Structure 1
Amino acid sequence: MTAFLTPEQLAERTSAAVAAAVAAGRELGLTVTEPRLLHDLFSVVVHLEPAPVVARVPTVLPDSVTPDAVSRRQRSELDVTRWLAEQGVPVLPPSPLVPREPVQRDGFSITFWEYVAENHDKEPDYAANAESTATLHAALRDYPGQLTFLGAAEPHSLSAGLTQLEKSPDLISPQDLARARREWEALEPIASSQEQFQKAFPGIDLQPVHGDSPPANIFAATDGDRYADFELVSYGPVEWDLAALGPELEAAYNRGARRNGQRELDEDVLAFVNAVGMLRVIATLELVPKLPALADYLNPAVDQWRAGPSRR
């Protein structure tokens, strides 16, 4: 049987991440007397009060993701958000009080962000957020840095996750896992290669994309909405950012795209990114032992995938 972390072990991990963030912040010259935990799921996010700085510490990662890979991803996020902020795009920016690079401390890789007060009274409007995503894409088109093609799909990690799940039949049945592996065998060459993608979808332009469902990652600040959480920023089709969000939000995005003079979403590319995204959900089951509450988020999507037609 798979071993799951206990509540005590989860609390110890959170405490260790907070302690590492505080120590790293102090070493960088920040005054930290009352650290306040803001969020704790895949990452621990802590306000290093009274410094106007938020530390984010990834804590729940696939075994196949190396510390170097985490740092590379964080550097891309820091570079993109810094550049967007310089262009006047509303984002949660890196903190200007410390060097804009990941800091290694006690086995964690930590990034530091400007503290922005949240408007807790505002309910998310996902349709408006999806429409706004087209504006983000318009801004990202001019980003001059290099990004990995569909790095957000994490093809290597997805493959490794499916292999890891062979050891955990209590997380997914052998029959379901075999189906997932068949589907990934067909999709992996396209998800792993820009050349193969462009052969499969000729005429589809590529550009920098947020990578992690931007309509669900818009932060309601007291001074207005800001784009947030660019941890999976990548190079790819804009459809990736609308994966699995459904017809209503796709239509909202298309309204924004038409207003900006951009192309609308392509149905064939949407089908592809939806299929890859669903397999990422399956592979993420690997993380449930490290974060048992994750099962409540993943299992409904797995049930939906199981009830749908197999893609080969």
Structure 2
Amino acid sequence: MITEEERAARSQRARDAAVAAATELGLDASGATVLYDVFSVVVDLAPSPVVARVPVVTPRGTTSAGFQRTELDVSRWMASRGEPTVVPSGLVPAEPVERDGFAMTFWEKVEGVVPTAYDAVKRMPAVARLHSILAGYPGETGFFPGMQGYVDLAFDDLDGREDLLPAADLARARAEWAVLSPLVTSPSAFARAFPGVPVQVVHGDAPSYNLIETADAVLYSDYEHVGVAPVEWDLAHTGEEAISAYDAAAADLGLRTVDTEVLRVVERLRDLQAVACLAMVPQLPLLVDGLASTLETWRATEPLTGLTGGDPRPTTPAER
């Protein structure tokens, strides 16, 4: 398990690598500071109006470069359409840069960010609009990106780690994954299970969270996990009121409304994704607290035994 001192040292190495890479690209980063440090270290390369994003914690079996190229391509495409979005810095090439063992990307700094309380319901119209835009994205993306390979490897890493996940929980997670994993292998596999439910390019990583607000605009951001999936993948666990708000906005835009059975299934997939994230706790101990509520809710649901088996709603002993 990484110590706090080791985590701070990793953050410093990422910052130093970003500064060195930026300097080599001709930027003045003499006042660089770390803005954020969780899965990525985000560095304000002051006085240059550029922010570097440096992934430091990634699931085993995945690499940053492919995700980073997709993120850069999608953001540039969004900007070319005049959509409100965070964009790659125009002061350096829009491509991943490797330095001192880190792969990083450089972004235009957003000035005047307004701190706002998260409200999924109020943000659903923006999510529906994003779906209407991404449906036309012409680039190549994966299907349910980040799910193939990662979950199986994570469950293998959790085997025998009772300090991270009890064996009974791991056995349940593996059983549920055996039921659901075929759905994320290809669009055709999904279509066989849910005929008539279309898939499209979606954000992939909770777009209602990944909005940056200023006094003048609300910007879309964080396209690392963009890929083809049902729109419900972006809506999992947002709550009934938020789903109703999404449906209303989708109808106004001529989009389909949420399929409740697909939502039920992708919410369980998101639960299993959270369970798999426990394998990264040795690299990122704060995940223990961050995932606690999700895992508690998952444990309170009936185990999923089939696409129509097992009620995903939390139950009490009296209800069972």
TM-score range, shorter chain: over 0.9
User: Which residue of structure 2 lines up, in the alignment, with residue 95 of structure 1?
Assistant: 89
2:61 counterpart of 1:75:
no
Amino-acid identity (%) = 43
Residue of structure 1 in register with 2:142 after alignment: 148
The alignment status of 1:210 with 2:207, answered yes or no, reads no
Of 131-140 and 117-126, the range deviating more from structure 2 = 117-126
- Cα offset for 1:56? 0.2
Residues 123, 306 of structure 1: alpha-carbon distance in 2 compared, 3 angstrom cutoff: closer
Q: Are the aligned partners of 2:160 and 2:167 in contact in 1 as well (CA < 8 Å)? A: no
- Once the two structures are TM-superposed, the CA of residue 155 in structure 1 deviates from its matched residue by 2.2
CA contact (8 A) 2:120 2:238 kept: no
Question: How does 1:112-151 map onto structure 2 within 5 Å?
Answer: 112-151=106-145
Amino acid paired to 1:248: E
Give 1:221 shift: 2.4
Richer in helix (by share)? 1
| Unpaired runs of at least 5, structure 2 | 306-320
Which whole-Å CA distance do the structure 1 matches of 2:169 and 2:148 have between them? Answer: 19
Deviations 1:277-310 (A, max 9, x none): 0000000001111111111110111111111100
Task: Give the aligned partner of residue 52 of structure 2.
Answer: 55
2:31/2:46 contact within 8 Å kept: yes
CA distance in 2, matches of 1:139, 1:94: 19
Give the 3-state SS of the residue equivalent to 1:235 in structure 2.
Answer: strand
In 2, the alpha carbon distance for the partners of 1:208 and 1:104 equals: 28
SS in structure 2 of the partner of residue 265 of structure 1: coil
Deviation at 1:216, TM superposition (A): 0.9
Aligned: 1:238 with 2:231: yes
Tell me which of 6, 11, 15 is aligned to 1:9. Answer: 6
User: Secondary structure of the equivalent of 1:79?
Assistant: helix
How far off is 1:63 after superposition? 2.4
| Structure 1 stretch displaced more, 248-257 or 77-86 | 248-257
Report which structure shows greater RCO (CA 8 Å, sep ≥6). 1
Mapping of 1:139-288 within 5 angstroms? Answer: 139-152=133-146, 154-288=147-281
Cα distance between partner residues in 1 of 2:98 and 2:7:
21
Aligned partner of residue 50 in structure 1, secondary structure: coil
Cα distance between partner residues in 2 of 1:118 and 1:270 = 36
Q: Are 1:29 and 2:58 counterparts?
A: no
Report how far residue 159 of structure 1 moved. Answer: 1.0
Q: Once the two structures are superposed, what CA deviation does each residue of 1:90-145 show, in whole Å capped at 9, x if it has no partner?
A: 11111111111111111111001010014334333321212210001111111111
- Aligned-residue offset at 1:167: 3.4
Aligned equivalents of 1:60, 1:177: Cα separation in 2: 22
1:7 Cα deviation from its structure 2 partner: 0.8
Correspondence 1:41 to 2:35: no
Equivalent residue, structure 1, for 2:313: none
Q: TM-score, normalised by structure 2?
A: 0.93
Q: How far apart, CA to CA, are the structure 1 residues paired with 2:91 and 2:204?
A: 27
Tell me the TM-score normalized by structure 1: 0.95
- TM-superposed CA distance for 1:61, in Å, is 1.2
Displacement after TM superposition at 1:211 (Å): 0.4
What corresponds to 2:15 in structure 1? 18
Q: Return the alpha-carbon distance in structure 1 between the equivalents of residues 162 and 100 of structure 2.
A: 33
- Post-superposition CA distance 1:34-77 (Å, at most 9, x none): 00211111110011001111000011112222xxx310111001
Distance 1:82 1:142 in 2: 14
CA offset at residue 246 of structure 1? 1.5
Contact in 2 for aligned 1:130/1:214 (Cα 8 Å): no
